[in-house]
Amino acid sequence: MSRVRQEVVFVDGVRTPFGKSGEKGMYAQTRADDLVIACVRELLRRNPELPPERVEDVAIAATTQIGDQGLTLGRLVALLSGLPNTVPGYSVDRMCAGALTSVATIAGQIGFGQIDVAIAGGVEHMGRHPMGEGVDPNPRIIAEKLVDPSALVMGATAENLSDRYPQLTKERSDAYAVNSQAKLAQAYADNKIQPDLVPVATRHADLGWGLATTDEPPRPGVTMEDLAGLKTPFRDHGKVTPGNAAGLNDGATACILASEKAAKELGLATKMRLVSFGFVGLEPEYMGYGPVPAAEKALKLADLSIDDIGLFELNEAFAVQVVAFLDHFGIPDDSPKVNLYGGAIAVGHPLASSGVRLCNQLARQFEDHPEVRYGMVAMCIGIGMGAAIIWENPHHADYAPTAD
Protein backbone atom coordinates (compact mmCIF):
# COMPACT_ATOMS: atom_id res chain seq x y z
CA MET A 1 0.00 0.00 0.00
CA SER A 2 1.47 3.34 -1.01
CA ARG A 3 0.92 6.46 1.03
CA VAL A 4 1.91 9.90 -0.20
CA ARG A 5 2.84 12.65 2.23
CA GLN A 6 1.12 15.90 1.29
CA GLU A 7 2.02 19.48 2.12
CA VAL A 8 -0.65 21.25 4.18
CA VAL A 9 -1.65 24.86 3.52
CA PHE A 10 -3.80 27.39 5.35
CA VAL A 11 -6.34 28.66 2.83
CA ASP A 12 -8.46 31.15 4.76
CA GLY A 13 -9.69 31.89 8.27
CA VAL A 14 -12.34 34.03 9.92
CA ARG A 15 -13.71 34.73 13.37
CA THR A 16 -16.62 36.38 15.06
CA PRO A 17 -16.03 39.58 16.97
CA PHE A 18 -15.14 38.54 20.50
CA GLY A 19 -17.57 39.52 23.26
CA LYS A 20 -17.46 39.99 27.00
CA SER A 21 -18.99 37.11 28.90
CA GLY A 22 -21.98 37.59 31.15
CA GLU A 23 -25.46 39.03 30.97
CA LYS A 24 -24.17 42.40 29.74
CA GLY A 25 -22.12 40.86 26.95
CA MET A 26 -23.27 41.12 23.37
CA TYR A 27 -23.65 37.33 23.01
CA ALA A 28 -25.45 36.82 26.33
CA GLN A 29 -28.44 35.17 24.67
CA THR A 30 -26.78 33.94 21.47
CA ARG A 31 -26.10 30.22 21.13
CA ALA A 32 -22.49 29.09 21.11
CA ASP A 33 -22.94 26.78 18.14
CA ASP A 34 -24.50 29.58 16.11
CA LEU A 35 -21.27 31.57 16.52
CA VAL A 36 -19.11 28.93 14.88
CA ILE A 37 -21.79 28.13 12.28
CA ALA A 38 -21.58 31.80 11.22
CA CYS A 39 -17.83 31.35 10.73
CA VAL A 40 -18.15 28.23 8.59
CA ARG A 41 -20.85 29.78 6.43
CA GLU A 42 -18.67 32.84 5.91
CA LEU A 43 -15.71 30.68 4.86
CA LEU A 44 -17.86 28.99 2.24
CA ARG A 45 -19.17 32.35 1.02
CA ARG A 46 -15.67 33.83 0.78
CA ASN A 47 -14.29 30.83 -1.07
CA PRO A 48 -16.80 30.02 -3.85
CA GLU A 49 -14.11 28.01 -5.65
CA LEU A 50 -14.53 25.35 -2.95
CA PRO A 51 -17.44 23.01 -3.71
CA PRO A 52 -19.07 22.14 -0.34
CA GLU A 53 -18.88 18.45 -1.16
CA ARG A 54 -15.07 18.70 -1.33
CA VAL A 55 -14.94 19.45 2.41
CA GLU A 56 -14.04 16.08 3.92
CA ASP A 57 -14.10 16.74 7.67
CA VAL A 58 -14.95 19.41 10.25
CA ALA A 59 -13.10 19.58 13.58
CA ILE A 60 -14.50 22.06 16.11
CA ALA A 61 -13.01 22.57 19.56
CA ALA A 62 -14.72 23.56 22.80
CA THR A 63 -13.35 23.36 26.32
CA THR A 64 -16.73 22.87 27.97
CA GLN A 65 -18.53 20.31 25.84
CA ILE A 66 -22.05 20.49 27.21
CA GLY A 67 -25.25 22.23 26.18
CA ASP A 68 -24.88 24.13 22.92
CA GLN A 69 -21.17 23.26 22.86
CA GLY A 70 -21.77 19.52 23.10
CA LEU A 71 -23.03 16.50 21.14
CA THR A 72 -20.19 16.07 18.62
CA LEU A 73 -20.12 19.75 17.79
CA GLY A 74 -18.15 19.38 14.57
CA ARG A 75 -20.79 17.16 12.99
CA LEU A 76 -23.69 19.40 14.03
CA VAL A 77 -21.86 22.49 12.79
CA ALA A 78 -21.25 20.79 9.44
CA LEU A 79 -24.94 20.00 9.03
CA LEU A 80 -26.16 23.41 10.19
CA SER A 81 -23.64 25.27 8.02
CA GLY A 82 -25.11 23.85 4.83
CA LEU A 83 -22.46 21.24 4.09
CA PRO A 84 -23.70 17.98 2.57
CA ASN A 85 -24.69 15.29 5.07
CA THR A 86 -21.80 13.21 3.70
CA VAL A 87 -19.35 15.54 5.48
CA PRO A 88 -18.37 14.10 8.90
CA GLY A 89 -17.26 16.08 11.92
CA TYR A 90 -15.93 15.73 15.45
CA SER A 91 -15.19 17.64 18.63
CA VAL A 92 -11.82 18.49 20.15
CA ASP A 93 -10.82 19.47 23.67
CA ARG A 94 -7.35 20.64 24.63
CA MET A 95 -8.55 23.60 26.67
CA CYS A 96 -7.03 26.86 25.37
CA ALA A 97 -5.31 25.09 22.47
CA GLY A 98 -8.50 23.45 21.22
CA ALA A 99 -8.55 25.23 17.88
CA LEU A 100 -4.80 24.71 17.40
CA THR A 101 -5.36 21.03 18.07
CA SER A 102 -8.18 21.03 15.52
CA VAL A 103 -5.71 22.49 13.02
CA ALA A 104 -3.05 19.91 13.91
CA THR A 105 -5.38 16.90 13.73
CA ILE A 106 -6.86 18.00 10.41
CA ALA A 107 -3.32 18.69 9.15
CA GLY A 108 -2.37 15.15 10.16
CA GLN A 109 -5.19 13.72 8.06
CA ILE A 110 -4.24 15.86 5.07
CA GLY A 111 -0.52 15.25 5.47
CA PHE A 112 -1.07 11.49 5.61
CA GLY A 113 -3.01 11.65 2.38
CA GLN A 114 -6.38 10.59 3.79
CA ILE A 115 -8.24 13.80 2.90
CA ASP A 116 -7.57 16.93 0.86
CA VAL A 117 -9.76 19.72 2.27
CA ALA A 118 -11.27 20.26 5.72
CA ILE A 119 -12.39 22.89 8.20
CA ALA A 120 -10.93 23.43 11.69
CA GLY A 121 -12.04 25.85 14.35
CA GLY A 122 -13.26 26.40 17.87
CA VAL A 123 -15.85 28.13 19.99
CA GLU A 124 -16.20 29.16 23.59
CA HIS A 125 -19.18 30.86 25.18
CA MET A 126 -17.83 31.47 28.66
CA GLY A 127 -20.97 33.33 29.62
CA ARG A 128 -23.14 30.27 29.01
CA HIS A 129 -20.47 27.74 29.99
CA PRO A 130 -17.81 28.96 32.46
CA MET A 131 -14.58 26.99 32.33
CA GLY A 132 -14.95 23.94 34.55
CA GLU A 133 -18.74 23.87 34.51
CA GLY A 134 -19.97 20.39 35.34
CA VAL A 135 -16.52 18.82 35.66
CA ASP A 136 -15.54 16.44 38.47
CA PRO A 137 -11.72 16.21 38.69
CA ASN A 138 -10.55 12.97 40.22
CA PRO A 139 -9.60 13.89 43.82
CA ARG A 140 -6.55 11.64 43.66
CA ILE A 141 -4.76 14.22 41.50
CA ILE A 142 -4.58 16.41 44.62
CA ALA A 143 -4.75 13.78 47.37
CA GLU A 144 -1.84 11.82 45.93
CA LYS A 145 0.09 15.05 45.43
CA LEU A 146 0.41 14.59 41.68
CA VAL A 147 -0.08 18.33 41.37
CA ASP A 148 -0.31 21.31 43.68
CA PRO A 149 -3.91 22.55 44.18
CA SER A 150 -2.98 25.78 42.40
CA ALA A 151 -2.60 23.78 39.15
CA LEU A 152 -6.38 23.80 38.73
CA VAL A 153 -6.61 27.62 38.88
CA MET A 154 -5.05 29.18 35.79
CA GLY A 155 -4.50 32.59 37.41
CA ALA A 156 -2.73 30.95 40.32
CA THR A 157 -0.36 29.19 37.91
CA ALA A 158 0.50 32.59 36.45
CA GLU A 159 1.38 33.82 39.95
CA ASN A 160 3.54 30.70 40.38
CA LEU A 161 5.43 31.61 37.22
CA SER A 162 6.19 35.05 38.63
CA ASP A 163 7.50 33.37 41.79
CA ARG A 164 9.82 31.08 39.85
CA TYR A 165 11.24 33.90 37.72
CA PRO A 166 11.49 37.07 39.85
CA GLN A 167 12.55 39.14 36.83
CA LEU A 168 8.99 38.77 35.53
CA THR A 169 7.74 41.75 37.47
CA LYS A 170 4.25 43.19 37.61
CA GLU A 171 5.58 46.34 35.97
CA ARG A 172 6.78 44.33 32.97
CA SER A 173 3.44 42.57 32.70
CA ASP A 174 1.55 45.86 32.93
CA ALA A 175 3.77 47.49 30.32
CA TYR A 176 3.26 44.52 28.01
CA ALA A 177 -0.51 44.77 28.51
CA VAL A 178 -0.58 48.50 27.72
CA ASN A 179 1.35 47.81 24.54
CA SER A 180 -1.06 45.03 23.55
CA GLN A 181 -4.01 47.39 23.84
CA ALA A 182 -2.20 50.05 21.81
CA LYS A 183 -1.23 47.61 19.05
CA LEU A 184 -4.79 46.33 18.71
CA ALA A 185 -6.11 49.89 18.48
CA GLN A 186 -3.57 50.64 15.74
CA ALA A 187 -4.46 47.43 13.89
CA TYR A 188 -8.11 48.48 13.90
CA ALA A 189 -7.11 51.94 12.65
CA ASP A 190 -5.13 50.30 9.85
CA ASN A 191 -8.05 47.99 8.92
CA LYS A 192 -6.03 44.85 9.71
CA ILE A 193 -8.66 43.23 11.93
CA GLN A 194 -11.94 43.99 10.19
CA PRO A 195 -11.47 41.99 6.93
CA ASP A 196 -11.64 38.66 8.75
CA LEU A 197 -14.48 39.44 11.16
CA VAL A 198 -17.86 37.79 10.60
CA PRO A 199 -20.82 40.02 11.54
CA VAL A 200 -23.12 38.10 13.86
CA ALA A 201 -26.82 38.76 14.38
CA THR A 202 -27.63 38.74 18.09
CA ARG A 203 -30.90 38.54 19.95
CA HIS A 204 -31.73 39.51 23.53
CA ALA A 205 -35.11 39.13 25.21
CA ASP A 206 -34.91 42.65 26.64
CA LEU A 207 -32.67 44.46 24.14
CA GLY A 208 -34.02 42.94 20.93
CA TRP A 209 -31.97 42.26 17.81
CA GLY A 210 -28.43 43.51 17.29
CA LEU A 211 -25.41 43.05 15.04
CA ALA A 212 -21.97 42.30 16.45
CA THR A 213 -19.35 43.83 14.16
CA THR A 214 -16.39 44.73 16.41
CA ASP A 215 -14.66 43.24 19.43
CA GLU A 216 -16.14 44.15 22.78
CA PRO A 217 -13.22 43.65 25.26
CA PRO A 218 -10.60 46.22 24.08
CA ARG A 219 -9.69 49.15 26.31
CA PRO A 220 -7.88 51.55 23.96
CA GLY A 221 -5.87 54.25 25.66
CA VAL A 222 -5.31 52.32 28.89
CA THR A 223 -2.20 53.49 30.79
CA MET A 224 0.26 52.11 33.32
CA GLU A 225 -1.44 54.28 35.91
CA ASP A 226 -4.79 52.70 35.09
CA LEU A 227 -3.37 49.24 35.68
CA ALA A 228 -1.28 50.00 38.74
CA GLY A 229 -4.12 50.00 41.25
CA LEU A 230 -6.07 46.96 40.01
CA LYS A 231 -6.75 44.15 42.44
CA THR A 232 -4.85 40.86 42.28
CA PRO A 233 -7.65 38.30 42.51
CA PHE A 234 -5.50 35.18 42.64
CA ARG A 235 -3.24 36.25 45.51
CA ASP A 236 -3.02 39.11 47.97
CA HIS A 237 -0.34 41.52 46.75
CA GLY A 238 0.17 39.37 43.67
CA LYS A 239 1.21 40.32 40.15
CA VAL A 240 -1.69 39.09 38.00
CA THR A 241 -4.59 41.51 37.53
CA PRO A 242 -7.58 41.83 35.20
CA GLY A 243 -5.50 44.41 33.33
CA ASN A 244 -2.55 42.16 32.46
CA ALA A 245 -4.56 39.01 31.74
CA ALA A 246 -7.17 38.02 29.19
CA GLY A 247 -10.77 38.31 30.31
CA LEU A 248 -13.71 35.92 30.15
CA ASN A 249 -14.98 35.99 26.60
CA ASP A 250 -17.34 34.54 24.01
CA GLY A 251 -16.43 33.93 20.37
CA ALA A 252 -15.69 31.49 17.56
CA THR A 253 -13.19 30.89 14.77
CA ALA A 254 -12.86 28.64 11.73
CA CYS A 255 -10.39 28.06 8.90
CA ILE A 256 -9.98 26.03 5.73
CA LEU A 257 -6.96 23.72 5.46
CA ALA A 258 -6.05 21.86 2.29
CA SER A 259 -3.35 19.86 0.64
CA GLU A 260 -1.18 22.10 -1.48
CA LYS A 261 -2.15 20.06 -4.52
CA ALA A 262 -5.89 20.42 -3.89
CA ALA A 263 -5.56 24.14 -3.25
CA LYS A 264 -3.89 24.55 -6.63
CA GLU A 265 -6.44 22.33 -8.35
CA LEU A 266 -9.42 24.24 -6.93
CA GLY A 267 -7.89 27.71 -7.29
CA LEU A 268 -7.85 28.30 -3.52
CA ALA A 269 -5.47 30.74 -1.87
CA THR A 270 -2.36 29.57 -0.05
CA LYS A 271 -1.84 31.99 2.84
CA MET A 272 0.61 29.81 4.78
CA ARG A 273 2.23 26.38 4.53
CA LEU A 274 2.60 24.16 7.59
CA VAL A 275 6.16 23.41 8.62
CA SER A 276 5.90 21.65 11.99
CA PHE A 277 4.00 21.60 15.25
CA GLY A 278 4.74 20.60 18.82
CA PHE A 279 2.53 19.80 21.81
CA VAL A 280 4.18 19.17 25.17
CA GLY A 281 3.40 18.64 28.84
CA LEU A 282 5.09 20.22 31.86
CA GLU A 283 4.44 20.86 35.54
CA PRO A 284 0.75 21.86 35.75
CA GLU A 285 1.58 24.42 38.44
CA TYR A 286 3.64 26.35 35.87
CA MET A 287 1.44 25.88 32.81
CA GLY A 288 2.26 29.38 31.50
CA TYR A 289 5.77 28.20 30.61
CA GLY A 290 4.36 25.62 28.18
CA PRO A 291 5.03 27.60 24.98
CA VAL A 292 8.79 27.43 25.65
CA PRO A 293 9.29 23.65 25.37
CA ALA A 294 6.56 23.48 22.71
CA ALA A 295 8.43 26.02 20.59
CA GLU A 296 11.70 24.16 21.12
CA LYS A 297 10.06 20.92 19.96
CA ALA A 298 8.54 22.51 16.85
CA LEU A 299 11.87 24.18 16.00
CA LYS A 300 13.78 20.92 16.38
CA LEU A 301 11.31 19.07 14.15
CA ALA A 302 11.66 21.80 11.51
CA ASP A 303 15.47 21.98 11.85
CA LEU A 304 15.14 25.71 12.54
CA SER A 305 16.35 28.05 15.27
CA ILE A 306 14.44 30.77 17.06
CA ASP A 307 16.34 33.30 14.92
CA ASP A 308 14.64 31.89 11.83
CA ILE A 309 11.24 32.97 13.13
CA GLY A 310 10.44 36.46 11.89
CA LEU A 311 6.91 36.83 13.31
CA PHE A 312 5.27 35.46 16.45
CA GLU A 313 1.62 35.19 17.41
CA LEU A 314 1.63 34.31 21.11
CA ASN A 315 -1.59 33.88 23.01
CA GLU A 316 -1.81 36.33 25.88
CA ALA A 317 -3.71 34.36 28.49
CA PHE A 318 -1.51 36.23 30.96
CA ALA A 319 1.17 38.80 30.19
CA VAL A 320 3.61 37.01 32.49
CA GLN A 321 3.59 33.86 30.35
CA VAL A 322 4.37 35.84 27.20
CA VAL A 323 7.17 37.72 28.92
CA ALA A 324 8.54 34.39 30.23
CA PHE A 325 8.67 33.08 26.65
CA LEU A 326 10.38 36.22 25.40
CA ASP A 327 12.90 36.11 28.26
CA HIS A 328 13.83 32.52 27.52
CA PHE A 329 14.55 33.22 23.87
CA GLY A 330 16.19 36.62 24.39
CA ILE A 331 13.46 38.58 22.61
CA PRO A 332 12.67 42.11 23.88
CA ASP A 333 9.29 42.62 25.53
CA ASP A 334 8.40 45.25 22.93
CA SER A 335 9.79 43.41 19.90
CA PRO A 336 8.03 44.36 16.65
CA LYS A 337 8.13 40.67 15.69
CA VAL A 338 5.65 39.78 18.45
CA ASN A 339 1.86 40.17 18.23
CA LEU A 340 1.82 43.01 15.72
CA TYR A 341 -1.94 43.39 16.10
CA GLY A 342 -2.02 43.07 19.87
CA GLY A 343 -3.28 39.97 21.62
CA ALA A 344 -5.77 38.34 23.93
CA ILE A 345 -5.21 40.83 26.74
CA ALA A 346 -6.83 43.38 24.46
CA VAL A 347 -9.06 41.40 22.11
CA GLY A 348 -10.15 38.58 24.40
CA HIS A 349 -9.53 34.85 24.77
CA PRO A 350 -12.56 32.62 24.23
CA LEU A 351 -10.46 29.60 25.19
CA ALA A 352 -10.81 26.87 22.55
CA SER A 353 -11.36 29.33 19.70
CA SER A 354 -8.21 31.42 20.08
CA GLY A 355 -5.71 29.30 18.18
CA VAL A 356 -7.24 29.99 14.77
CA ARG A 357 -7.34 33.73 15.56
CA LEU A 358 -3.58 33.56 16.03
CA CYS A 359 -3.10 31.65 12.78
CA ASN A 360 -5.27 34.05 10.83
CA GLN A 361 -3.42 37.10 12.16
CA LEU A 362 -0.09 35.53 11.24
CA ALA A 363 -1.37 34.86 7.72
CA ARG A 364 -2.45 38.48 7.39
CA GLN A 365 0.98 39.66 8.59
CA PHE A 366 2.77 37.40 6.10
CA GLU A 367 1.12 39.36 3.29
CA ASP A 368 2.63 42.60 4.59
CA HIS A 369 6.05 41.09 5.36
CA PRO A 370 7.35 39.05 2.42
CA GLU A 371 10.83 39.40 3.90
CA VAL A 372 9.78 37.02 6.72
CA ARG A 373 9.97 33.36 5.76
CA TYR A 374 8.77 31.65 8.96
CA GLY A 375 6.28 32.53 11.67
CA MET A 376 5.22 30.82 14.87
CA VAL A 377 1.93 30.51 16.74
CA ALA A 378 2.24 29.40 20.38
CA MET A 379 0.00 29.02 23.43
CA CYS A 380 0.05 27.86 27.02
CA ILE A 381 -2.58 25.27 27.93
CA GLY A 382 -4.37 24.50 31.19
CA ILE A 383 -3.30 21.53 33.32
CA GLY A 384 0.30 22.02 32.23
CA MET A 385 0.77 21.89 28.47
CA GLY A 386 2.07 24.02 25.62
CA ALA A 387 1.54 24.20 21.86
CA ALA A 388 3.44 25.71 18.95
CA ILE A 389 2.98 25.63 15.18
CA ILE A 390 5.49 26.94 12.63
CA TRP A 391 4.22 28.22 9.28
CA GLU A 392 6.03 29.25 6.09
CA ASN A 393 5.24 32.47 4.24
CA PRO A 394 4.28 31.84 0.58
CA HIS A 395 5.16 35.45 -0.25
CA HIS A 396 8.83 34.92 0.62
CA ALA A 397 11.31 34.79 -2.25
CA ASP A 398 12.54 31.32 -1.25
CA TYR A 399 9.09 29.76 -1.03
CA ALA A 400 8.86 26.87 -3.48
CA PRO A 401 5.46 25.20 -4.05
CA THR A 402 5.73 21.45 -4.26
CA ALA A 403 2.41 20.74 -5.96
CA ASP A 404 2.64 19.51 -9.53
What's the first-to-final CA gap in the chain, in angstroms?
A: 22
Strands 90-92 vs 58-61: parallel, antiparallel or unpaired:
parallel
Side-chain half-sphere of 364: how many Cα atoms within 13 Å?
A: 21
Q: Is 147 exposed, middle or buried (0-12, 13-18, 19+ CB in 10 A)?
A: middle
Catalytic hit among 96, 125, 129, 255: 96
Q: Which of 125, 129, 349, 359 is catalytic?
A: 349
Measured CA to CA, the distance from residue 146 to residue 291 in angstroms comes to 22
Instruction: State yes or no: is 328 an active-site residue.
Output: no
* Local structure of 128: helix, strand or coil: coil
Catalytic residue among 39, 255, 359, 380: 380
Cα–Cα distance, 167 to 171 (Å, whole number): 10
C-beta of residue 117 within 8 angstroms of C-beta of residue 260: no
| Inter-helix orientation angle 154-164/319-329, to 10° | 40
Residue 233 three-state SS? coil
Q: What are the Cα distances from residue 128, in Å, to 10, 70, 119, 132?
A: 31, 12, 25, 12
Helices vs strands, H then E, count in the chain: 12, 12
Q: Which residues are catalytic?
A: 96, 349, 380
